[in-house]
Amino acid sequence: MLSKILLPILRFSISGWVGAAILFVILTVQEIRLGQFESILLDRLILIRFPIYYAFSFTMIGLASLTGGLYWILFPTLRTMKIGASFILLTLLILIGDYLFVYSELAAMLQPVGSPRPHNFHGYHVLTERLNAFAVLMGIAGAILVNLPQPAGNAENPAA
């Protein structure tokens, strides 16, 4: 019975995060590439939107990691489910590291808004882009793997 609760929560939370993260990236990249906004406005948007992105990410991926871990511990799972849950946990760890050691440094460099950016801003920006791209790829891989059909009886019948 518990597997019928954990598995849908796991699947919903990681799939929801992947969709939202891809949409967030597409919108952010489009805003920058169109060049219709001044640098000061882009800096403000970064300081407003990214904390929301990280809070949403930690909530959804944290929930997926928790339910994936519980599912792994409580029920015999397929190798694909274990790998998927591992990818999801890796996604969470990447984003935590990015937030603590990269984004928070970038946010500090943008304040006060409109001030000149320090020489190391570009390096941090490239690093956070790469870490987030890697996290999204790991999240996609994890979502695909945990959403694969489970054989009948796999979650609650060890003999299956």
112-149: pLDDT as tens digits: 998 899 999 999 999 999 999 999 999 999 999 999 99
* Interatomic CA distance for residues 31 and 28, integer angstroms: 5
Is 119 among the domain residues? yes
pLDDT value for 150: 79
Question: Largest Cα–Cα distance of the chain, in whole Å?
Answer: 64
Output the average pLDDT for the chain: 91
Domain that holds residue 89: 3-146
What confidence tier does 34 reach under pLDDT thresholds 50, 70, 90? confident
Question: What's the predicted TM-score (pTM) here?
Answer: 0.89
Say whether pLDDT at 104 is over 80.
Answer: yes
Is 48 among the domain residues? yes
What confidence tier does 153 reach under pLDDT thresholds 50, 70, 90? low
Contact at 8 Å (CB) between 88 and 57? no
Is 153 among the domain residues? no
Is 41 among the domain residues? yes
Give the count of domains, the chain: 1
Percent of the chain residues topping a pLDDT of 70: 94
Structure tokens at 85: 């849950």
Fill in the DSSP letter of residue 131. H
Is 110 among the domain residues? yes
Is 151 among the domain residues? no
Is 17 among the domain residues? yes
